[in-house]
Structure 1
Amino acid sequence: MSTTATVHDRIRHAAAELAPRLWDVAQELHRHPELAFEEHRSAALLSKELDSEGFTVERGVAGMETAFTARAGNGDGPCVALLLEYDALPDLGHACGHNLIAGAGLGAALALHNAMPEIDGTLLVVGTPAEEGGGGKAIEVEAGVFDGVDAALMFHPGVYSWSSAPLTAQVQYRVGFHGRAAHPTGNPTEGLDALAALIQLFNTVAAVQRRLPEGSHIQGIITEGGRATNIVPDYAEGRFGLRGITGTLLDELIAELARAAEGIALATGTVVELTQASTRYEHFRNSDVLSATFAEHLSQAGMTVGEPTPGIYLGSSDIGNVSARVPAIHPFVAILGPDESDHTPRFAEAAGGPDGRRAMLASAEALARTAADVLLRPELGARAWSELRRKEAAGL
């Protein structure tokens, strides 16, 4: 059996040899961005790369045409998953750097497979569509793709270099008020103004927002407010995005939105409907055990990550749904400075430039080494599982 030090050394050499090929793949994704659930070209490219290296590839998993898995190993031991994201943003392309996430995950898989051609356990590569709305990972979790996995690993390019990701729980709700139409000059007393009820809900939400804990919020837009100014609207609808630091806090926000809407409906004589309008993203539970392992390997690859800055939250991701079931990491590695932001043209440019390349290649090597540690050191996985159970019990 190979020692971890020997495997780490082999990974370093393999990652260096793979570097031009991985950057070609990342550049190809960058040149041809595809939106959520439409990533046919990207999924085909990535799965073909894995297929050509002897992985057993399954396409169209979890009922999604652009999702796939690729496996290597004999199954007699731990299972470690490397996660690949590859969807892009409307009008902005890879302004979140998913081409780099895919390139790093692919590189980690190929380097590890090269370093450990006979794996006692399972190396699982998971193609995860639609992170930018749609929640491919959440769908895969429910379909059982992560059943039996002992560690789920990925990195994300960003404007900070952090060992863990402060990602909140998030969901959207549609709130519709049904009233009764009337003409404001002909029969005004017969009307039940649905739009007025919706506006009252926005005012109530604004008051609630002022007392929410750090990292939580409710933000809404009006999606339907009537058709003509001389008719009292009989229907009005808003869409509200809710975020909570934890899933428990998100549940409390949902209940508060429902209570406010129902109270307003009672006061105005309208009827209200609340329906979930998006896939729910759970908050991210970081595996401190595995993150520390990744951070150590990343420093040996020439880059460093520190602890998150208190009070800064970076949105939500469907990796949270994975982390609720399996020990997981989602470190950020900076490709721009902290005065910048992702989801911008500047970030898209960086994701196709030299800073993106450096972050991707260093992360690929660190991910491969971390995955090797999970496969070769059973006690590491045991510690990660113990930590996850403690966090679950504490509601963290």
Structure 2
Amino acid sequence: MTVTPDGVHDALRTEVAARADALWDVALRLHADPEYAFAEHRAAELLSGELERAGLVVERGVAGLPTAFTARSGRGRPAVALPLEYDALPGLGHACGHNLIAAAGLGAALALHAVLGGAQGCVLAVGTPAEEGGGGKAVEVEAGVFDDVDAALMFHPGVHDFVRAPLTAQVQYRVGFHGRAAHPTGNPAEGIDALAALVELFNVLSALGRRLPPASHVQGIVTHGGTATNIVPEYAEGRFGLRAATTTQLDALVGQLDECAQGVARATGTRAEVERVTVRYEHFRDCEVLSERFAEHVSRAGITLTPPVPGVQLGSSDIGNVSGRVPAIHPFVAIMDADGSDHTPEFARAAASPRAREVLTAAAQALACTAADVLLDGDLRAAAWARHRADDALQAPSSRPVGA
């Protein structure tokens, strides 16, 4: 059995502490200059530039995404990936704290490069654009960016101190109904009201919602309802967001949406089109042995992580797609009290607060130490992969989603 020497942990914490001011400066620069999905050009250049200047080998434009990149220290296996998020929310800026995620991953990668120098395997900092709706990690997963990696480690700022992330699966679909236009008084019998069909779909989905399993829901909006009040709408369209506790349950919910739409179309004489319009985010599969190791390391900064409160859901993230391929962690560390919420102006302000600075340093140190454990402790790697493969066996195979 090989375990990480205490001296390595101490050296990593020292390296992060020495960079604390510089990491905070990066976090504040990102915070002051928010960029959005797949357009994070300045953020990607800032982060990749810092890594390149430190001697990591940088590749830009990975997975065909202009604002994605990798920065590599060492080669081969074992290997650990550090995803960096840096997109913001339109109108709210860094109200999800991605500036802190990026700076923490940066700090961990720089410390690992300085202490291990690539001699113990590979550290891969991965620039992952468009978490807020674009699914950059999902695209990178499909492109093979996380192949040949033994673990993917990141943290997320929040309003809870949770050792693991209860993140659901989610996707969005467009449903369009085709009818036939007519004058509502002159020749109403010749019309086929597409909007009436869409309204009926909302009614059917409302009834369906009362018997869905916990964490599953469908939320829709009307995106097109006709062109004039004196014309029977020949086309109507809605956009529907679907969430479920697991990816398998999400696929089943997609099938139910399609069945409802087709049933409404038959009942109303319309024709229904059901099309997926976003990347599918899979549910997050936590690697318990690695999350517990992160919790041990971050506790040195006085931060105690606990299991999630039952019933609490924290949304969805494309880190779920990564966790389906490799052992992964996504703990939450609070930067404001639990009576608040992310995706708010208050959380955006908290992401540049003194508390956020303390969390940034502590998270970067814990990420670096956990990554070193993955690289240096063969028994830990084996346990992480065993847990991951056991989870694989529990995941029921899902059919190809509708409109995929």
What is the TM-score with the length of structure 2 in the denominator? 0.96
Deviation at 1:120, TM superposition (A): 2.0
Residues 346-386 of structure 1, C-alpha deviations (whole Å, 9 max, x = no match): 00000011111111110000000000000000111111111
One-letter code aligned to 2:22: R
Question: What's the counterpart of residue 211 of structure 2?
Answer: 211
Question: What's the counterpart of residue 182 of structure 1?
Answer: 182
What is the aligned-residue RMSD (CA, Å)?
Answer: 1.1
Deviation at 1:318, TM superposition (A): 0.2
Question: What's the counterpart of residue 292 of structure 2?
Answer: 292
Deviation at 1:210, TM superposition (A): 1.2
One-letter code aligned to 2:16: A
Question: What's the counterpart of residue 58 of structure 1?
Answer: 59
Give the aligned length.
395
Structure 2 distance, partners of 1:303, 1:111, is: 21
Q: Which runs of 5+ in 1 are unaligned?
A: none
Structure 1 distance, partners of 2:340, 2:375, is: 37
- Structure 1 range deviating more: 366-375 or 115-124: 115-124
Residues 24-52 of structure 1, C-alpha deviations (whole Å, 9 max, x = no match): 10011011010011100000000010001
User: Could you say if the C-alpha distance between residues 192 and 363 of structure 1 is closer, same or farther in structure 2, counting changes exceeding 3 Å?
Assistant: same
Structure 2 distance, partners of 1:18, 1:205, is: 52
Question: What's the counterpart of residue 10 of structure 1?
Answer: 11
8 Å contact from structure 2 (residues 156, 330) kept in 1: yes
One-letter code aligned to 1:35: Y
Structure 1 distance, partners of 2:239, 2:308, is: 31
Question: What's the counterpart of residue 173 of structure 1?
Answer: 173
Structure 1 distance, partners of 2:287, 2:249, is: 21
Structure 1 distance, partners of 2:252, 2:114, is: 48
Deviation at 1:302, TM superposition (A): 2.5
Question: What's the counterpart of residue 45 of structure 2?
Answer: 44
Deviation at 1:301, TM superposition (A): 2.7
Deviation at 1:3, TM superposition (A): 4.9
Deviation at 1:391, TM superposition (A): 1.0
**Residue 25 (structure 1) aligned with residue 26 (structure 2):** yes
Aligned 1:219-230 pairs, distance under 5 A:
219-230=219-230
Aligned 1:317-336 pairs, distance under 5 A:
317-336=317-336
Residues 311-354 of structure 1, C-alpha deviations (whole Å, 9 max, x = no match): 01011000000000000000000011111000001000000111
Deviation at 1:117, TM superposition (A): 2.0
SS of 1:102 mapped into structure 2: helix
* Percentage of pairs with the same residue: 65
Aligned 1:49-128 pairs, distance under 5 A:
49-75=50-76, 77-128=77-128
Structure 1 distance, partners of 2:212, 2:308, is: 21
Q: Which runs of 5+ in 2 are unaligned?
A: 397-404
Structure 2 distance, partners of 1:33, 1:10, is: 33
Structure 1 distance, partners of 2:241, 2:14, is: 46
Residues 50-85 of structure 1, C-alpha deviations (whole Å, 9 max, x = no match): 00111000000000000000001142x300001100
One-letter code aligned to 2:254: I
One-letter code aligned to 2:204: T
SS of 2:83 mapped into structure 1: strand
Structure 2 distance, partners of 1:311, 1:2, is: 36
Structure 1 distance, partners of 2:295, 2:333, is: 10
